Copies of this chain bind each other. A is one copy, B any other.
């Protein structure tokens, strides 16, 4: 059985548990999955300072666990320190941001990312541009822009409908690991494909492991080889 370490780059115990529960169910017969949080990181990653604060803990986690796992998943949708992780890891590393956005491009022409906060919009846009997927990203819609609804699913439904009506969204990407487990019901409500980062990332990572693929160690992620 394959072994996957999911790195939750923040220190939230609740989010770590939610990711673990969903990932265990999702990967069930294919992989043993362990989710670890970063103790000295903030409870939520939004800024580049948050990201920098998570870097040492994430680095230690990869270095300590190189031999014990077949692959690593970075489970925060802003893909914090993903390039660094790819540089230091000898096993495949996937970010849920990159995986979910690339996948969305195969399911429709334009996608909208639902983000947790208004503050994370520019970073999401910059991330899509970094991956050269800026043209397919039609909008980022933050949940904290909606007033009234309190239920997570209702919130997602409201911003998704706005994305469809106003931005021409064809695919919805759940842009926060905190939304894990809501994609199936949201799909049923809005009729568009909804990409969950954790499911997408796990699926991509398992595929890479099955194909014996690894992060290229020439040029960009070569480090001091």
Contacts and interface: CB of A to CB of B under 8 A. Distances in A.
Interface string A14-43: 000000000000100000000000000000
A211 B192 contact: no
A150 to B, nearest CB: 26
A106 interface: yes
A210 interface: yes
B211 A108 contact: no
Interface stretch (A1-9, A56-64, A118-126, A127-135): A127-135
A105 B105 CA distance: 13
Interface string A197-220: 001100110111011111111111
Nearest to A83: B109
Nearest to A203: B207
A88 interface: no
Copies per complex of this chain: 2
Contacts of A203: 206-207, 210-211
Contact of A108 (B106, B170, B219): B219
A155 interface: no
Contacts of A221: 108-109, 170
17 contacts: A26-B210, A102-B102, A103-B213, A105-B132, A106-B208, A107-B208, A108-B216, A108-B221, A109-B221, A170-B219, A183-B211, A192-B216, A193-B213, A203-B206, A204-B204, A204-B207, A207-B207
For the complex of A and B, list the 7 residue pairs with the smallest distance between their C-beta atoms, beginning with the closest. A203-B207, A108-B216, A170-B216, A109-B220, A102-B102, A199-B211, A193-B213
